[in-house]
Amino acid sequence: MHRTPTLRRRHVLALAAAASLGVPAFAQAPSAPLRVILPLGAGSGVDTIIRTTQNALSKALGGQAVVIENLPGAGGITGTHALVRAPADGLTVAVISNNHAVNPSVYKSLPYDSLADITPICVVGGSPFVLVVNPAKVPAKDAKEMQALLKSRPGQFNMGSSGNGTIIHLAGEMFVDALGVKVTHIPYKGMGPMMVDIISGQVEFGVGAVPAVQGHLAAGRMRAIGIMGAQRVASLPDLPTIAEQGFPSVDVAGWFAVVGPKGLPAAQVRRLHDAVVAAFADPDVKAAMAKQDNFIQPMSPEQSAAFLKTEQERYARLVAKGGIKLD
């Protein structure tokens, strides 16, 4: 934005109005839309979050249109590959999640470098995970009782996941590793089939996003053992975290971040970062996020870069320990 005496009075007033609303103001919104690539399918948790925020993001960008494009496939690789090939002009971003940090460790090769070929803009927030069990198959009420039960029958209990090498799989592996127990991992093609089989008793336990299991918990079809992240959630205030129950190494939640292609100019990084922060501060968006138990804790571009590197390193250690590999 050029701050010169030649600015027209109405332009100055428009900028002042935008500032009073907490909305980043730009001299002129780009005529081309912002393309937001989601390396996930429609209807996923992150897809719901971004579509809830679409209008607020457009407003924060000074009226620039925001177009969301779902490009699922190969654990997020398809969509991310499209991002890294896009021009670094501030008109294309992607919203990545945990699998972006997991993929380098579970796949033999990727068509891009997960850290070097992106420009971190903002790790925005995430969704809490919860460990759930089939109440008819698992009498344990907490993590300590789970540990005693699983140790008494090593390898005889099945842990479901949404797929081999997914963040849900790694979250479950983090839990069993902390407990020092052996279980049989049963991978499914997505969260839906896994949840069905936990309810039916085909598998005894697994990890799910809190919003996805709320109805099952209320109906008694599942029992919650503990929150997998560092803090309790508002909708389940009496449910302690697994860490609170004596296993501090268990700390994992779903997260999502906005990134651009490699080489995105600093001015564009700041513009997009400020717009994302403003969009998620919108009162309607904040209410929607709270209703879904999502937590919004935006990081700076520098903090986001450090976070993504740390996440990739810690998942690499967990994958190596579990011997998890995909073709």
Residue 272 pLDDT > 80: yes
CATH number for the region 128-227 comes to: 3.40.190.10
| pLDDT, tens digit (0-9, with 9 covering 90-100), for 75-88 | 889 999 999 999 99
**Cβ 104 vs Cβ 47: under 8 Å:** no
**Cβ 168 vs Cβ 130: under 8 Å:** no
Q: Which CATH superfamily is domain 25-127+254-322 in?
A: Bordetella uptake gene, domain 1 (3.40.190.150)
Which distant-in-sequence residues (6+ apart) come within 8 Å of 319 by Cβ? 102, 105, 106, 165, 170, 325
Query: How far apart are alpha carbons 190 and 129 in whole angstroms?
Result: 15
3 state DSSP class of 33: coil
Burial of 253: CB neighbours in 10 Å, binned 0-12, 13-18, 19+:
buried
| Cβ neighbour number for residue 240 with a 10 Å cutoff | 15
- In the chain, list all ranges with CATH 3.40.190.150: 25-127+254-322
pLDDT average, residue stretch 291-300: 93
pLDDT average, residue stretch 48-60: 96
pLDDT average, residue stretch 103-113: 94
**What does pTM read for this prediction?**
0.81
Calculate what percentage of the chain has a pLDDT beyond 70.
91
Residue 139 pLDDT > 80: yes
Residue 288 pLDDT > 90: yes
Provide the sign of the torsion angle of the four alpha carbons 33, 39, 42, 47, taken in this order. Answer: negative
- In the chain, list all ranges with CATH 3.40.190.10: 128-227
3 state DSSP class of 7: coil
Q: Alpha helix locations (H) across 42-115? A: 45-60, 77-84, 98-106
pLDDT band, very low/low/confident/very high, at 327 (cuts 50, 70, 90): low
Pairing of strands 34-38, 184-187: unpaired
Beta bridge partners of 125: 256, 296
Query: How far apart are alpha carbons 90 and 31 in whole angstroms?
Result: 12
| pLDDT, tens digit (0-9, with 9 covering 90-100), for 298-307 | 999 999 999 9
Mean residue pLDDT of the chain comes to: 89
